[in-house]
């Protein structure tokens, strides 16, 4: 039997479709790892290559986030028109399985590791069900090492991505993670992670932990960092800003090779932080926190959510000034997006403030709701101004051209974002960004 795994492309003319550095789908490599040896497995990532809709495959499996859903449905339709069975999973299908089932033969809701072997067995017997939902949570000791051989030859920036934990103990209202994984924080045994890293470092000294909060369990994180010392990795992951207040743990991370963390600042307004459920953030200490990260050799990719009810048009310049004063090595500025399954969507729906369900616009770069403190146009324009200003040469010079070990990662990242933002701006001016992008062979 032949299984074709597909990651839909991000549309050109949108930021994530224009970025030059690409990372693979770890979830598809994880599914490949729990696929029986009797199946022949291949991968097509539309961000790296076109899709051959005439490919020999018995079953097609697609994963997609919400802005990729329209393209995922197009791909599914093209394969089904050719007589292929299609299954779909991921955040969007898990939140809206009834919608996804209008386009595919079966949907996997939530973590697919447990139900995937059963789905394949059902398919082989001709008894594929329409919905697969795990009855419990996967024992983290049972997570197999991702089958990264399917990623070979694709041209990714790196394939050393791995996951050590699942879930997040916090419950921010805008975040899809809790809806998907739940608030229970689960950890793989440290010795298993270290054994996987031993194999990975033979290929590349860089690694990226995709965990949504790598340091939520202090004891676990400290054990992991101590085990990584001396392995020679330069690695990145995600951590909350209050990580800066645990000097022992932060130092251990730096000594183990951490060169950067994705950090959700989210807002400079403490009232907005409370409203969104960001319980660990203290806006008054942000400057000191950022300095402590840098003092330990760890750069920051900051994130600021734009459009919360306390935001006015003055927020854009205030965030830019803060980022430059804090010398944040990089940042993203997502527009508040009411993703299916999130608490913020429930709130905005109850307030009748959602203005669009065009999923391709749920890319954190388009306004899909009615803001409270400014017009939708002001929010859209401010978002675009902030991106251009932050990734201007003058701002980049202020923030990153200092002697700091994280520059080796963040200098290329800044130039990559700058180029992508400029291409995005050109596409908007030419009117391309309003149309879904077709990739490869026409369905």
Pair (399, 312) in one structural domain? yes
pLDDT of residue 244: 95
Q: Is residue 399 part of a domain?
A: yes
End-to-end CA distance of the chain: 24
Pair (111, 215) in one structural domain? no
Q: Which long-range contacts (CB under 8 A, 24 or more apart) does 94-97 make?
A: 94/180, 94/341, 95/66, 95/176, 95/179, 95/180, 95/339, 95/340, 95/341, 96/340, 96/341, 97/131
Residue 43, pLDDT above cutoff 60 = yes
CATH of residue 264's domain is 3.30.750.200
Confidence of residue 125 (pLDDT cuts 50, 70, 90): very high
Summarize the confidence of residues 202-215 as an average pLDDT: 90
- When the pLDDT of each residue in the chain is averaged and rounded to a whole number, the result is 90
pLDDT of residue 427: 47
Pair (303, 418) in one structural domain? yes
Percent of the chain with pLDDT over 70: 92
The SS3 call for residue 331 is strand
pLDDT of residue 426: 60
Of residues 336 and 439, the one with the higher pLDDT is: 336
Confidence of residue 130 (pLDDT cuts 50, 70, 90): very high
Pair (228, 320) in one structural domain? yes
Residue 349, pLDDT above cutoff 70 = yes
Confidence of residue 440 (pLDDT cuts 50, 70, 90): very low
Pair (117, 214) in one structural domain? no
Q: Is residue 112 part of a domain?
A: yes
Whole-angstrom CA distances from 96 to 103, 174, 291, 306, 437 are: 12, 17, 42, 25, 23
Backbone angle region of 307, left / alpha / beta, with phi > 0 → left and psi within -120 to 50 → alpha: left
Q: Is residue 93 part of a domain?
A: yes
Sign of torsion over alpha carbons 85, 90, 96, 99:
negative
Summarize the confidence of residues 25-52 as an average pLDDT: 94
Q: What are phi and psi of 87, to 5 degrees?
A: -120, 155
Split into its structural domains, the chain has a count of 2
Confidence of residue 12 (pLDDT cuts 50, 70, 90): confident
pLDDT of residue 431: 38
pLDDT of residue 442: 36
Backbone angle region of 124, left / alpha / beta, with phi > 0 → left and psi within -120 to 50 → alpha: alpha
Q: Quick check: 160 and 204 in contact, CB under 8 A?
A: yes
Confidence of residue 249 (pLDDT cuts 50, 70, 90): very high
pLDDT of residue 75: 98
pLDDT of residue 139: 79
Closest CA to 255 of 288, 228, 294, 285: 228
CATH of residue 62's domain is 3.40.50.280
Q: Is residue 234 part of a domain?
A: yes
Pair (9, 124) in one structural domain? yes
Q: Quick check: 330 and 348 in contact, CB under 8 A?
A: no
Confidence of residue 441 (pLDDT cuts 50, 70, 90): very low
Q: Is residue 177 part of a domain?
A: no
pLDDT of residue 320: 98
CA 366 to chain centre: 17
Residue 158, pLDDT above cutoff 70 = yes
Q: Is residue 270 part of a domain?
A: yes
Pair (124, 219) in one structural domain? no
Residue 429, pLDDT above cutoff 50 = no
pLDDT of residue 182: 60
Cα dihedral 98, 178, 143, 150 in deg (nearest 10): 60
Last residue of a domain, one of 132, 148, 163: 132
Summarize the confidence of residues 216-237 as an average pLDDT: 95
Summarize the confidence of residues 319-344 as an average pLDDT: 95
Residue 201, pLDDT above cutoff 80 = yes
Q: Is residue 343 part of a domain?
A: yes
Confidence of residue 120 (pLDDT cuts 50, 70, 90): very high
Q: Quick check: 301 and 332 in contact, CB under 8 A?
A: yes
Pair (259, 385) in one structural domain? yes
Pair (269, 401) in one structural domain? yes
Which two three-digit tokens encode residue 357? 């369900």
Q: Quick check: 174 and 337 in contact, CB under 8 A?
A: yes
Q: Quick check: 396 and 410 in contact, CB under 8 A?
A: no
Q: What are phi and psi of 51, to 5 degrees?
A: -95, 130
Pair (215, 120) in one structural domain? no
Summarize the confidence of residues 190-195 as an average pLDDT: 96
Considering just the CA atoms, what is the radius of gyration of the chain in Å?
Answer: 21
Domain around 86:
2-132
Q: What DSSP assignment string belongs to 263-302?
A: EEEE-S-HHHHHHHT-TT--GGGHHHHHHHHHHTT-EEEE
Residue 437, pLDDT above cutoff 70 = no
Q: Is residue 160 part of a domain?
A: no
pLDDT of residue 443: 44
pLDDT of residue 425: 72
DSSP state at residue 74: H
Q: Quick check: 50 and 78 in contact, CB under 8 A?
A: no
C-alpha atoms less than 13 angstroms from C-alpha of 226 in its C-beta half-sphere: 10
Closest CA to 237 of 183, 168, 170, 181: 168
Pair (237, 364) in one structural domain? yes
Backbone angle region of 219, left / alpha / beta, with phi > 0 → left and psi within -120 to 50 → alpha: alpha
234-238 and 258-266 as β-strands: parallel, antiparallel, unpaired? Answer: parallel
Predicted TM-score of the model (pTM):
0.91
Last residue of a domain, one of 112, 132, 152: 132
Q: What are phi and psi of 91, to 5 degrees?
A: -60, -45
Confidence of residue 436 (pLDDT cuts 50, 70, 90): very low
Of residues 2 and 16, the one with the higher pLDDT is: 2
Gap between the Cα atoms of 335 and 23, Å rounded: 22
Could you report the per-residue pLDDT of 256-293, keeping only the tens digit for each? 999 999 999 999 999 999 988 888 899 999 999 999 99
Q: Quick check: 214 and 185 in contact, CB under 8 A?
A: no
Pair (35, 119) in one structural domain? yes
Residue 439, pLDDT above cutoff 50 = no
Q: Which long-range contacts (CB under 8 A, 24 or more apart) does 399-405 make?
A: 399/323, 399/324, 399/327, 399/328, 399/329, 400/327, 400/329, 400/330, 402/327, 404/294, 404/297, 404/299, 404/329, 405/259, 405/297
Could you report the per-residue pLDDT of 164-186, keeping only the tens digit for each? 988 776 666 766 666 666 667 88
Summarize the confidence of residues 6-21 as an average pLDDT: 88
Last residue of a domain, one of 80, 105, 132: 132
């Amino acid at each position: 039997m032949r299984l074709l795994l597909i990651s839909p492309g991000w549309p050109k003319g949108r930021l994530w479709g224009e970025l030059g550095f690409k990372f693979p789908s770890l979830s598809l490599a994880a599914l490949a790892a729990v696929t029986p040896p009797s199946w022949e497995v291949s991968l097509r990532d539309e961000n790296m290559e076109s899709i051959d809709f005439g490919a020999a495959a018995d079953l097609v499996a697609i994963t997609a986030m919400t802005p990729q859903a329209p393209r995922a449905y197009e791909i599914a339709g093209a394969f089904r028109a050719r007589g292929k069975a299609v299954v779909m999973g991921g955040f969007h299908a898990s939140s809206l399985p009834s919608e996804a089932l209008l386009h595919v033969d079966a949907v996997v809701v939530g973590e697919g590791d447990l139900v995937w072997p059963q789905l394949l067995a059902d398919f082989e017997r001709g008894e594929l069900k329409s919905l697969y939902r795990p009855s419990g949570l996967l024992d983290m000791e049972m997570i197999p090492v991702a089958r990264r051989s399917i990623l070979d030859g694709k041209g990714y920036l790196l394939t050393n991505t791995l996951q050590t934990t699942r879930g997040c103990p916090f419950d921010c209202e805008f975040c899809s993670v809790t809806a998907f994984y739940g608030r229970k924080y689960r950890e793989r045994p440290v010795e298993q992670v270290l054994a996987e890293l031993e194999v990975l470092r033979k290929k590349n000294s860089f690694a990226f932990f995709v965990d949504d909060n790598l340091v939520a369990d202090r004891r676990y994180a400290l054990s992991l960092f101590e085990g990584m010392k001396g392995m020679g990795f330069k690695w990145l992951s995600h951590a909350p800003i209050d990580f800066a207040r645990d000097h022992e743990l932060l130092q251990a991370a730096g000594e183990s090779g951490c060169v950067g963390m994705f950090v959700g600042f989210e807002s400079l307004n403490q009232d907005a932080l409370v409203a969104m459920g960001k319980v660990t953030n203290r806006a008054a200490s942000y400057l000191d926190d950022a300095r402590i990260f840098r003092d330990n050799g760890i750069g920051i990719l900051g994130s600021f959510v734009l459009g919360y009810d306390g935001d006015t048009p003055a927020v854009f310049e205030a965030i830019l000034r803060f980022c430059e004063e804090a010398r944040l090595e990089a940042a993203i500025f997502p527009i508040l997006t009411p993703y299916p399954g999130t608490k913020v969507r429930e709130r905005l729906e109850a307030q009748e403030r959602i203005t669009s369900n065009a999923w391709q616009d749920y890319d954190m770069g388009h306004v899909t709701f009615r803001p409270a403190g400014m017009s939708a146009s002001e929010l859209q324009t401010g978002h675009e101004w902030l991106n251009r200003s932050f990734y201007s040469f003058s701002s980049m010079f202020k923030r990153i051209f200092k002697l700091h070990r994280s520059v080796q990662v963040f200098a290329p990242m800044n130039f990559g974002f700058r180029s992508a933002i400029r291409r995005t701006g050109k596409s908007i001016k030419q009117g391309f960004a309003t149309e879904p992008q077709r990739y490869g062979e026409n369905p």
